[in-house]
Structure 1
Amino acid sequence: MVPASLSSGDLLADRRAAYAKLLSGDGLFAEAAELMEQALELAPGWRAGWFQLGEYREKAGNRDGAVEAYARVAQGGGEDIFGANLKLAVLGAADMPARPESAYAESLFDDYADRFEEALTGKLGYDLPALLAERIAAHGGGRQHFSLVADIGCGTGLAGPEVRPLAERLEGFDISANMLARAREKGVYDHLGRADLSLSVEESGLFAAGLPRRRADLVLAADVMIYLGDLDAVFALAAELVKPNGFFAFSVETAEEGYVLQPSLRYAHSEAHVGGLFARHGFERRLFERVTLRMDRGKPVFGFVFIAERTG
Structure 2
Amino acid sequence: MAHSAFTVSSGDPVLDRRLDWARAFLAEGDARACAELLAETVADAPHFAAAWFLLGEARVALADRDGAAEAFARVRALDPDDALGAGLHLARLGAAPAAGAMSAAYVRTLFDQYADRFDTALREKLAYRGPELLFDALARAAAARGRPLAFAEGLDLGCGTGLAGVLFVRVVERLAGVDLSPAMLEKAAALGLYARLQAGEMGAALDAAPDASLDLVLAADALCYVADLTPFFHGARRTLRPDGLFALTLETHEGAGVILRDTLRYAHSADHVRALAAQAGLAVVLLEAASTRAEKGVPVPGLVCVLG
TM-score (normalizing by structure 1) = 0.89
The structural deviation recorded for 1:56 is: 2.2
**Is the alpha carbon distance of 1:54 and 1:99 closer, same or farther for their aligned partners in structure 2, counting shifts above 3 Å?**
closer
Aligned residue type for 1:205:
A
Q: Give the stretch that moved more between structures: 212-221 or 97-106.
A: 97-106
Q: Hey, what does 1:159 align to over in structure 2?
A: 164
- The one-character-per-residue Cα deviations of 1:264-292 (angstroms, maximum 9, x if unpaired) are 11111112221122122221111111011
Contact 2:88 2:101 in 1 (8 A): no
Q: Output aligned runs, 1:64-213, within 5 Å.
A: 64-76=66-78, 78-98=80-100, 100-140=102-142, 141=145, 142-198=147-203, 204-206=204-206, 212-213=210-211
| 8 Å Cα contact 1:197-1:237 kept in structure 2 | no
The equivalent residue for 1:295 is: 294
Deviates more, 1:6-15 or 1:62-71: 62-71
Question: What letter matches 2:229 in structure 1?
Answer: L
Counterpart in the other structure of 1:266: 265
Question: 1:155·1:174 contact (CA, 8 Å) conserved in 2?
Answer: yes
**What's the CA shift for 1:96?**
2.4
Structure 1 residue 206, shift from structure 2 partner: 4.1
| 1:157/1:182 contact within 8 Å kept | yes
Residues 281, 195 of structure 1: alpha-carbon distance in 2 compared, 3 angstrom cutoff: farther
Specify the SS of the correspondent of 2:78: coil
Q: d(CA) in 2 for partners of 1:116 and 1:306? A: 24
Aligned partner of 1:235 among 227, 230, 233: 233
How far did residue 258 of structure 1 move?
Answer: 1.0
Secondary structure of the corresponding residue to residue 205 of structure 2: coil
Note if contact 2:141-2:286 (Cα within 8 Å) is conserved in structure 1: yes
CA distance in 2, matches of 1:30, 1:293: 37
**Equivalent residues of 2:207, 2:235 under 8 A apart:** no
Distance 1:127 1:174, change over 3 A: same
Distance in 2 (alpha carbons) for counterparts of 1:220 and 1:134: 13
Which whole-Å deviations, capped at 9, do the CAs of 1:163-182 have from their partners, x for residues lacking one? 11111111111122122112
**In structure 1, how many angstroms separate the alpha carbons of the residues matched to 2:53 and 2:11?**
16
Counterpart contact for 1:197–1:233, Cα < 8 Å: no
- The superposition leaves residues 77-128 of structure 1 with CA deviations (integer Å, 9 ceiling, x where unpaired) of 5222222122112112233234522222222222222222222111010011
Native 8 Å contact 2:258 2:268 kept in 1: yes
Deviation at 1:215, TM superposition (A): 2.0
Cα deviation for residue 241 of structure 1 reads: 2.7
- Divergent runs of 4+, >6 A: none
More off after superposition, 280-289 vs 63-72 = 63-72
Structure 1 range deviating more: 124-133 or 188-197: 188-197
- Secondary structure of the 1:159 match is helix
Q: Is residue 10–residue 42 contact of structure 1 (8 Å, CA) maintained in 2? A: no
Indicate how the Cα distance of structure 1 residues 294 and 72 shifts in structure 2: closer, same or farther if over 3 A, else same.
same
Residue 56 of structure 1 corresponds to 58
Identify the range of structure 1 (128-137 vs 101-110) with the bigger mean alpha-carbon deviation: 101-110
Counterpart residue identity of residue 173, structure 2: E
Q: Which has the higher helix share?
A: 2
Amino acid aligned to 1:180: L
CA distance in 2, matches of 1:13, 1:234: 44
Alignment of 1:31-50 (within 5 A): 31-50=33-52
Q: Determine if contact 2:165/2:193 at 8 Å carries over to the other structure.
A: yes
Letter in 1 for 2:277: F
* Contact 2:251–2:267 (CA under 8 A) maintained in structure 1: yes
- The answer to whether the Cα contact below 8 Å between 2:87 and 2:101 also exists between their aligned partners in 1 is no
* Stretch of structure 1 that moved more, 61-70 or 124-133: 61-70
What secondary structure does 1:165 align onto? coil
User: What is the TM-score when the length of structure 2 is the normalising length?
Assistant: 0.90
Aligned to 1:201: none
Runs of at least 5 residues in structure 1 that lack an aligned partner in the other structure: 199-203
Separation in 2 of the partners of 1:99 and 1:145? Answer: 37
The verdict on how the C-alpha distance between 1:206 and 1:96 changes in structure 2, with shifts beyond 3 A counting, is closer
| 1:145 Cα deviation after fit | 1.6
Percent identity of the aligned residues? 41
Query: Aligned pairs, how many?
Result: 300
